[in-house]
Amino acid sequence: MSEDVIYSDVVFVKRNEIGSNDPDQSQLDVYTEKKLKDLQKLHSALNDNFTAVLQDMHDWQQNLSKALDDSACPKDWEYHAGKCYFFSTNTLDWTKSRDACVSDGGHLVIIKRKDEQEFLMSIITKYKESFWIGLTDEKNEGQWLWVDNTELSPDERYWYGNEPDNWTGSRGESKAGEDCVIITQDGLKSWSDAFCSKSLRRICETRSSRQP
């Protein structure tokens, strides 16, 4: 049956609303009710299809975004805001960690923005371990320098609790104290100074070909 015929049937029903005892009218009511149910089914099916299309678009967008991030950095490096970050699985002391990052084409991470600190936290929370970052006061006690020799900004520092405390050990056996900085999973303020000789994982950083 064509749509024109359906339309004229519906109009006919409207014009004959008053004559409810008419057998022809009852037949028409049944017919109209059936058509209404068919339309409701069609509407529901269209609704389901629309939801599925929206979901497909969302998945496609996610995949595209992930593909762009993956192509922006070397394998096993994570992309964030124009930079790539490597979270090592092996452990080394701070100096060897610094050198290993250089060998891999980067440097120990230098954290100069809050969103960068937040990004690093979001990753290391998954690992539940501490990592070396590129900050030390090895040359002059209390003068904190990044591995590119820039000074630690008073506005962008994320020390945990009473850190840095230049702890010298439980019996004062390490007179030089703690000179190298770790990032731990303690929330936004998560840096501590630690003994540079400790063997820990590291975070390396390098520029990405993809700019934010």
Residues near Ca ion (CB under 5 A):
137, 163, 165-167, 177-179, 192-193
In the bound complex, what is the minimum distance in angstroms from residue 123's beta carbon to Ca ion?
22
Work out the number of other CB atoms within 10 angstroms of the CB of residue 192: 21
| SS3 (DSSP) at 42 | helix
Report in angstroms the alpha-carbon separations of 181 from 35, 70, 78. 73, 29, 21
Between 86 and 144, name the residue whose CB sits nearer to Ca ion.
144
Between 184 and 208, name the residue whose CB sits nearer to Ca ion.
184
Task: State the alpha helices, DSSP H only, in the chain.
Answer: 3-15, 23-72, 94-103, 114-127
The answer to whether the beta carbons of residues 132 and 203 sit under 8 Å apart is yes
Residue in 88, 81, 164, 159 with CA at minimum distance from that of residue 124: 88
H/E segment holding residue 84: strand 83-87
Token code pair at residue 44: 């529901």
In the bound complex, what is the minimum distance in angstroms from residue 70's beta carbon to Ca ion?
37
In the bound complex, what is the minimum distance in angstroms from residue 192's beta carbon to Ca ion?
5
In the bound complex, what is the minimum distance in angstroms from residue 168's beta carbon to Ca ion?
10
In the bound complex, what is the minimum distance in angstroms from residue 85's beta carbon to Ca ion?
24
Between 44 and 153, name the residue whose CB sits nearer to Ca ion.
153
Between 110 and 177, name the residue whose CB sits nearer to Ca ion.
177
Between 31 and 160, name the residue whose CB sits nearer to Ca ion.
160
Report in angstroms the alpha-carbon separations of 24 from 2, 4, 18, 21, 155. 21, 20, 13, 9, 84
Between 117 and 192, name the residue whose CB sits nearer to Ca ion.
192
Pairing label, strands 201-207, 180-183: unpaired
In the bound complex, what is the minimum distance in angstroms from residue 114's beta carbon to Ca ion?
22
